[in-house]
């Protein structure tokens, strides 16, 4: 028996563990392989006769990973070199995105509060996230499953026509898209059935956004912190999917594609957490559907984003998507922190930047606050109220779509659904200071400035 230990770099999720372990196990003489995503340490046990360290190096590095011997710290000469990062180029891309965003915001098309994957207006962004996920090695896991399943199908049908040989590819993607849509909706229903406190929703948003930022930074080759910021799940889910790839059933690719929803990919996990916080079957299903459609071109062409995004074009599409995902994650972290009640000083949305406080009327010892929920958010959204005096908050629900259908005041544990038309919420502020209120996703915000006396 002989034992080799290696360090593997370039893994983006726990599914890479299963992919690399299965690859190395195919070498003659390998009896056991164990790989840890967090540490990058791989231990290979052999019978001491057939396999060499050089063969293992070649097997792993030829699939796009960086591997070196743990004892000698030597990387083989054939290992792929990392492309240097052009920070100036990324800054220019970020500036272009900023200019476009400022223009659209000035035109009233979008605002900072809607710059988040939780809003329907951002489905195009989610599609780009899918394209970006397809450019990472996570797609190698799903692609590897597809190729193995297709090879099994071809061996069973050696005389199949070209169109027939495409059937497993088509079934795999149909199963994948259907699964993402269905389970995305079901996760949304779970979020609706379970009453999640706003503070917990905010923290989940921060976690999911941090994963998104980490994945974006990794794809852009700036820094790799994905092994420290990820959502761990049992490896058994990925193993179950891989075990089905050798099935000879004609519809096996359909179920194999469906099973990829449970593979621990960072991008997928981040969106799954977002969907949970939405509490909506429709929104959850649509978000995961659009994401799956974004990954489909790479799977259908097995590694390319179709002929219109090859070469230099593909390179810049991925850089643009990577920068956009990082910015998206940063702004959603801001929303999550606000929802969790964490004080922040980043720029706020146009729906929360009205400087003047609205007039509050007092009737029979009760403070009357009047506010409307519109397409732009809360209007007005800044009020001065007196501590210890009851408040009757009259809300006119003019536009109650998505997260605007709820309002929450985290500091006092208040959360209410806003219906179309007249709504009334009553509470009594107990202490002086700023008391923030916001929608269920922290995108649209306002403030009660509680003072000792008006």
- Verify that 274 and 366 share a domain, yes or no: no
Residue 346 has pLDDT above 50, yes or no: no
- pLDDT tens profile 138-184: 565 676 667 666 766 666 767 777 777 778 888 888 999 999 999 99
Per-residue pLDDT reduced to its tens digit, 364-419: 999 999 999 988 789 999 999 999 999 999 999 998 876 777 898 988 888 888 99
> With 0-12 CB in 10 A as exposed, 13-18 as middle and 19+ as buried, what is 64?
exposed
Whether residue 76 lies inside any domain: the answer is: no
d(CA 273, CA 204): 7
State the pLDDT at residue 116.
Answer: 47
Residues 6+ positions from 28 with CB-CB distance below 8 Å = 50, 51
220 and 96 housed in the same domain: yes
Residue with tokens 């006769």: 49
The rounded distance, in Å, linking the Cα atoms of 271 and 275 is: 6
Boundary residue ending a domain (69, 100, 123): 69
Q: Which residue has the tokens 């940063």?
A: 330
Residues 136 and 9 in one domain: no
On whether the CB atoms of residues 141 and 16 are closer than 8 A, the answer is yes
CA-closest candidate to residue 445, choices 340, 363, 361: 340
Q: Are residues 184 and 306 in the same domain?
A: yes
- Number of separate domains in the chain: 3
Same domain, 313 and 407: no
- Please check whether residues 96 and 34 belong to one and the same domain: no
Domain range for 121: 87-339
- What is the reported pLDDT for 73? 52
Q: Which of 339, 371, 395 is the last residue of a domain?
A: 339
Report yes or no on 195 lying in a domain: yes
- Contact assessment for residue 24 and residue 59, using Cβ atoms and an 8 Å cutoff: yes
CATH of the domain at 373: 2.60.40.420
Using alpha carbons, select from 37, 17, 137 the residue that is nearest to residue 80: 137
What pLDDT sits at residue 303? 39
297 and 379 together in one domain: no
Is residue 134 domain-resident?
yes
Q: Which residues contact 274 (CB under 8 A, 6 or more apart)?
A: 117, 118, 205, 208, 287
CB burial string 32-54: b at 16+ within 10 A, e below: ebebebeebebebebeeeebebe
Residues 202 and 97 in one domain: yes
167 and 256 both lie in a single domain: yes
Rg (alpha carbons) of the chain, rounded to whole number: 26
Query: Which pLDDT value is given to residue 447?
Result: 92
**For 283-301, what is each residue's pLDDT tens digit?**
899 999 999 998 888 777 6
Assigned domain for 344 exists: no
Same domain, 155 and 283: yes
Q: Do β-strands 391-397 and 366-374 pair in parallel, antiparallel, or remain unpaired?
A: parallel
86-130 tens-digit pLDDT: 888 888 988 988 888 777 666 655 554 444 444 444 677 788 888
351 falls within a domain: no
Q: CA torsion 425→380→203→238, rounded to 10°? A: 100
Quote the percentage of the chain above a pLDDT of 90.
17
**Comparing C-alpha atoms, which of 333, 11, 334, 301 is closest to residue 131?**
301
């Amino acid at each position: 028996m002989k034992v080799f230990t290696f360090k593997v770099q370039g893994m983006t999720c726990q599914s890479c563990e299963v992919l690399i372990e299965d690859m190395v196990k195919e070498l003659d003489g390998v009896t056991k392989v164990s790989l840890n995503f967090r540490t990058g340490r791989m231990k290979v046990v052999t019978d001491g006769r057939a396999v060499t360290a050089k063969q293992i190096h070649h097997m792993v590095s030829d699939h796009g990973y960086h591997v070196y011997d743990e004892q000698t710290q030597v990387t083989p000469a054939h290992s792929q070199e990392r492309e240097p990062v052009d920070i100036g180029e990324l800054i220019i891309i970020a500036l272009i995105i900023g200019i476009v965003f400022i223009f659209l915001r000035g035109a009233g098309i979008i605002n900072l509060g809607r710059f988040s994957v939780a809003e329907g207006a951002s489905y195009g962004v989610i599609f780009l996230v899918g394209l970006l996920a397809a450019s990472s090695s996570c797609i190698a896991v799903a692609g590897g499953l597809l190729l193995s399943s297709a090879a099994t199908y071809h061996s069973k049908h050696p005389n199949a026509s070209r169109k027939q040989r495409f059937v497993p590819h088509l079934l795999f993607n149909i199963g994948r898209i259907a699964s993402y849509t269905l389970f995305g909706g079901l996760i949304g229903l779970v979020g609706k059935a379970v009453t999640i406190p706003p503070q917990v929703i905010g923290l989940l948003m921060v976690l999911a956004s941090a994963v998104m930022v980490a994945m974006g930074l990794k794809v852009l080759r700036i820094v790799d912190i994905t092994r420290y910021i990820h959502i761990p799940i049992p490896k058994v889910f990925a193993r179950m999917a891989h075990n089905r790839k050798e099935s000879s059933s004609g519809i096996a690719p359909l179920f194999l594609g469906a099973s990829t929803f449970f593979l621990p990919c960072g991008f997928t996990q981040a969106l799954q957490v977002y969907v949970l916080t939405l509490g909506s079957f429709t929104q959850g299903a649509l978000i995961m559907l659009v994401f799956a459609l974004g990954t489909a071109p790479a799977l259908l062409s097995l590694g390319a984003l179709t002929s219109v995004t090859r070469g230099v074009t593909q390179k810049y599409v991925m850089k643009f998507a990577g920068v956009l995902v990082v910015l998206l994650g940063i702004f959603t972290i801001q929303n999550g922190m606000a929802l969790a009640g964490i004080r922040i000083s980043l720029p706020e949305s146009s729906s929360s930047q009205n400087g003047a406080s609205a007039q509050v009327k007092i009737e029979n010892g009760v403070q009357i606050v009047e506010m409307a929920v519109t397409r732009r958010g809360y209007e007005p959204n800044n009020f001065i109220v007196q501590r210890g005096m009851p408040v009757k908050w009259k809300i006119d629900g003019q536009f109650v779509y998505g997260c605007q259908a709820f309002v929450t005041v985290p500091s006092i544990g208040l959360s209410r659904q806003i219906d179309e038309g007249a709504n009334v919420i009553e509470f009594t502020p107990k202490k002086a200071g700023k008391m923030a209120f916001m929608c269920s996703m922290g995108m649209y915000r306002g403030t009660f400035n509680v003072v000792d006396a008006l």
